[in-house]
Amino acid sequence: MSGKASRRIGKQDQAERKQRFEEEVLRLMDRLYGTALRLTRNTDDAEDIVAEAVSKAWSRLDELDDLDCLPGWLFRILNNVFVSEWRKRQTRQRYWEDAKQAGDIDAPEDFSLFQKLHQPFLLWWGTPEDAFVNDLLHEDIQRALDSLPDEYRVVIVLVEVQGYTYSEASRLLEVPTGTIRSRLSRARSLLQKALWTQACAAGLRSEPGDSGHDNGAGK
Amino acid sequence: MTERELSCEEVLEQLFTYLDGEIDAAGSADIDRHLERCRDCYTRAEFEKKLRLKTEQAGGFAPAPERLRARIRGLLDRY
Ligand SMILES: [Zn+2]
């Protein structure tokens, strides 16, 4: 840490670091790509930001003292690359307003999957909410996430998927933590509603017996 | 540290903040205690936890296309 003691990275050390970097990058590739894909919703964009993040990380590898911190550091760079690209596009395409409108039309503020599923008439045949979650496929969740407007999807991907704290998300997105909180709460409501709508459309969650019970889903 | 009895409404209001780990230790302990005693809130919390875990797994993973792997290998080779 002290300036004078800053060690020279010897040649062998350098080679080891490079090898370690390569191994880690390749090992994390599906996670980097998956995260990028949820952030961008677009395969070409996702590939571009992963490639750019890897280049950036490599060019700044000297800043990273402890290679054990490489995964978290890489994801941080990935998120930064995404956010700066996203900002450029927002100013060009006014994404923001579109996203807001789409969100407002779609969802009640307080949609809860649990409340939809945890119904007395459903309860006498087990715990429907558990069955629902257990049956969810990754692609169900990915589709539901992708249906969210950008500003909501991004906070979910940061906080729920990557474990960002509210203040980390607030710093990255340059909005107050209060905004992170309210967006998250809205995002969860939208996500749960999307999962419910998908399940209903797939006929997975029609009422038992199909005999005239109103489960309130249509409301 | 003063323990507080929370109502179910208070617990549900803070449930997600709690699951996000954004509540201080005392507040978090209050919720833990409520969840130990209240079956309804416990069931709800377990549901949200499971859904969150699934979201984490599904949202943070997708098989990288071979094209991307090749591109990254190309990048790394140039270094
Ligand atoms: Zn309770």
CATH number, residue A132: 1.10.10.10
Q: Please check whether residue A206 lies inside any domain of the structure.
A: no
Ligand 1 geometric centre to CA of B44 (Å): 9
The number of domains in chain A is: 2
Residues A25, B76: C-beta atoms closer than 8 Å: yes
Q: Please check whether residue B15 lies inside any domain of the structure.
A: yes
Give the amino acid at B57: Q
Q: How far is A162 from chain B (nearest CA, A)?
A: 7
Q: Please check whether residue B20 lies inside any domain of the structure.
A: yes
pLDDT (tens digit, 9 = 90+) per residue, A2-27?
444 445 556 668 888 899 999 999 99
Q: Please check whether residue A149 lies inside any domain of the structure.
A: yes
Q: What pLDDT score was predicted for residue A13?
A: 83
The CA distance from A103 to A105, in Å, is: 6
List the pLDDT tens digit at each of the 219 positions of chain A. 444 444 555 666 888 889 999 999 999 999 999 999 999 999 999 999 999 999 999 999 999 989 999 999 999 999 999 999 998 887 766 544 555 544 444 555 689 999 888 876 655 566 788 888 999 999 999 999 999 999 999 999 999 999 999 999 999 999 999 999 999 999 999 999 999 999 888 876 554 444 334 444 433
Residues A33, B50: C-beta atoms closer than 8 Å: no
- Helix (H) or strand (E) holding B3, with range, is none
The number of domains in chain B is: 1
Looking at A45, A69, A88, the residue that finishes a domain is: A88
Do A106 and A163 fall into the same domain? yes
Q: Please check whether residue A135 lies inside any domain of the structure.
A: yes
Residue A11 burial (CB count, 10 A)? 8
Domain of residue B72, residue span: 8-78
**Among the listed residues B64, B71, B63, B77, the one whose alpha carbon sits nearest the alpha carbon of residue A19:** B77
CATH number, residue A19: 1.10.1740.10
Q: What pLDDT score was predicted for residue A61?
A: 92
Q: What pLDDT score was predicted for residue B39?
A: 94
Q: Please check whether residue A209 lies inside any domain of the structure.
A: no
Mean of per-residue pLDDT scores for chain B: 94
Burial status of residue A165 (CB atoms within 10 A of its CB: 0-12, 13-18, 19 or more): middle
Ligand 1 geometric centre to CA of A207 (Å): 27
pTM greater than 0.95:
no
Q: Please check whether residue A2 lies inside any domain of the structure.
A: no
A33 touches chain B (CB under 8 A): yes
Q: What is the mean pLDDT of each run of 10 residues along chain B (79 residues)?
A: 85 96 96 96 96 96 97 89
| pLDDT more than 70, % of chain B | 97
Q: What pLDDT score was predicted for residue A84?
A: 94
pLDDT (tens digit, 9 = 90+) per residue, A131-154?
889 999 999 999 999 999 999 999
The CA distance from A133 to A128, in Å, is: 9
Selected residue of A17, A138, A152 to mutate for chain B interface (largest B Cβ count, 10 A) = A138
Whole-Å CA distances, A13 to A4, B38, B42 = 19, 56, 51
Do A24 and A124 fall into the same domain? no
**Could you tell me which residues come within 8 angstroms of residue B43 by beta carbon, excluding any fewer than 6 positions away?**
A118, A127, A129
Do A104 and A180 fall into the same domain? yes
Do A74 and A29 fall into the same domain? yes
Q: Please check whether residue B18 lies inside any domain of the structure.
A: yes
Q: Please check whether residue B57 lies inside any domain of the structure.
A: yes
SS3 A217: coil
Q: What pLDDT score was predicted for residue A217?
A: 40
Ligand 1 geometric centre to CA of A188 (Å): 21
The CA distance from B8 to A185, in Å, is: 18
B74 touches chain A (CB under 8 A): no
Looking at A35, A60, A88, the residue that finishes a domain is: A88
ipTM for the predicted complex: 0.93
Domain of residue A151, residue span: 92-201
CATH number, residue B18: 1.10.10
SS3 A108: coil
Do A54 and A129 fall into the same domain? no
